């Protein structure tokens, strides 16, 4: 009897572990699909644009710890650029239009508002800035 009782408990736990594995796999696939979701996006709205030069748009969320410092880093590293911080949880239309899935996501747009680059995560932006710094130092 005790063995039987143990058996159904073990089976229940195995089922639960299977569900965890399934959930993890589905969630991972969904995230990969979202990450792969690339394509043309509309030009930046005029209110965000810097007519004279390029614009960095930093999409952040209230929970994003790295977004604020990243925007400051961008402003310091690229004084010619215009840096705008957008709260993705409030600007939902804008976030949907630019397919923002995580924060920070940074768009780099030219003076006409065309999105030229897209960086997901602070690391990607810093890498880009380091590359630019390396180029200007060697040039």
Partner 1 sequence: MLCAMTAPRPIDPRGPRVNQGVLTVALLAGFVLDWWPVVPAFAVVLFLGAAFGPRYGPVLRLYAEVIRPRLPPPTELEDPRPPRFAATVGVLFLGAATVAFLAGAAAVGWALALVVAALAGLAATTGICVGCEIYLFVARRRGVELAA
Beta strands in 6-114 (DSSP E): 55-60, 82-87, 105-109
Q: Which residue number, 18 or 112, has a Cβ lying nearer to partner 1?
A: 18
Distance CA 43, CA 55 (A): 11
Q: Under the criterion CB under 8 A, does residue 46 sit at the interface with partner 1?
A: no
Q: Under the criterion CB under 8 A, does residue 96 sit at the interface with partner 1?
A: no
Distance CA 58, CA 72 (A): 10
Count of positions on this chain that bind partner 1 (CB under 8 A): 30
- List the structure tokens of 32: 């990969």
| Stretch 15-34: interaction string toward partner 1, x if CB under 8 A | -xx-xxx-xx--xx------
Q: Which residue number, 17 or 35, has a Cβ lying nearer to partner 1?
A: 17
Residue whose entry in the numeric block shows the structure tokens 């060697």: 138
Q: Under the criterion CB under 8 A, does residue 125 sit at the interface with partner 1?
A: no
Interface with partner 1 (CB under 8 A), residue from 87, 110, 118, 129: 87
- List the structure tokens of 63: 């929970």
Which region, judged by CB under 8 A, interacts with partner 1, from 3-11, 73-81, 108-116, 130-138?
A: 3-11
> Is 74 within 8 Å of 106 (Cβ atoms)?
yes
Q: What is the nearest approach in angstroms of partner 1 to the Cβ of residue 32? A: 13
How are strands ordered across the β-sheet holding 115-120?
82-87, 55-60, 105-109, 115-120
- The site for partner 1 (CB under 8 A) is made up of 5-6, 9-10, 12-13, 16-17, 19-21, 23-24, 27-28, 60-68, 85, 87, 89, 121-123
């Amino acid at each position: 009897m005790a063995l039987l009782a143990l058996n159904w408990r073990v089976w229940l736990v195995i089922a639960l572990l299977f569900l965890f594995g399934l959930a993890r796999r589905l969630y991972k696939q969904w995230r990969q699909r979202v990450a792969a979701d690339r394509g043309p996006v509309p030009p930046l709205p005029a209110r965000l644009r810097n007519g004279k030069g390029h614009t960095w748009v930093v999409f952040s969320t209230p929970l994003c710890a790295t977004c604020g410092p990243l925007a400051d880093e961008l402003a310091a590293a690229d004084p010619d650029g215009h840096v705008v911080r957008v709260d993705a949880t409030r600007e939902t239309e804008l976030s949907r239009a630019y397919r923002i899935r995580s924060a920070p996501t940074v768009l780099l747009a030219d003076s006409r508002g065309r999105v030229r680059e897209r960086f997901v995560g602070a690391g990607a932006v810093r890498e880009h800035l380091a590359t630019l710094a390396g180029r200007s130092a060697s040039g």
